[in-house]
Amino acid sequence: MYGIVNKAIQGLVTENFGEEKWEAILKKSGVDIELFAGNEIYDDKITFDLAIAASEVLELPLSDVLVAFGKYWVLTTAKKHYGSLMDTGGNNLKDFFVNLPNFHSRVMLLYPNIQPPEFDIEVLEEKKLKVKYFSVREGLTDFVHGLLLGLGEAFDTEVEVEFLTGRVDGLRHDEFTVAW
């Protein structure tokens, strides 16, 4: 993953728990990188090791850490680094979701070696969608749950996100419903 992901984990931790907790997470994870370069590619294992260590140091379930990270990614990292791209996604939550499948094609212009996820959106009702999430990476279901919640907050819209089925059930993707 690009360093921007690891920098976002660091930001989430330091902003909410302090620099000392981040130092403890680095030590616990065995990651000996003090400064992540945003445009540099790092082994995915580093990111997962940081998340697991955060769970242990902060004494939170890993799922809670990943959901919080997903929300932080949308509300802080994406706004800061992809603000103009986020703005082109739509003026409301539904439009943004409908345009979500095209989002990463634009991100690939900034990060040409990215292995982006893919999203398939199905409108179920006026205020309810099915989101299918495809990725080469496993273990990010809770992160995506957090992304979906974060998008609701970004549009000042209370959302209910429900995990339906996915990789844990033998599929090659995860499925959620998002209602507001």
> Mean per-residue pLDDT for 24-47?
95
* DSSP H/E element including 49: helix 44-58
What is the reported pTM? Answer: 0.92
Residue 83 or 35, more confident: 35
**70, 74, 80, 84: CA torsion to nearest 10:** 140
Rounded to 5 degrees, φ, ψ at 36 are -90, 130
Q: What percent of the chain stands above pLDDT 70? A: 97
β-sheet with 160-165: strand ranges across: 118-125, 128-134, 174-179, 160-165
pLDDT band at 116; cut points 50, 70, 90: confident
For residue 52 the two structure tokens come to 């697991």
pLDDT digit string (tens) for 121-164?
A: 999 999 999 999 999 999 999 999 999 999 999 999 999 999 99
CATH of domain 70-179: 3.90.1520.10
Rounded to 5 degrees, φ, ψ at 50 are -65, -45
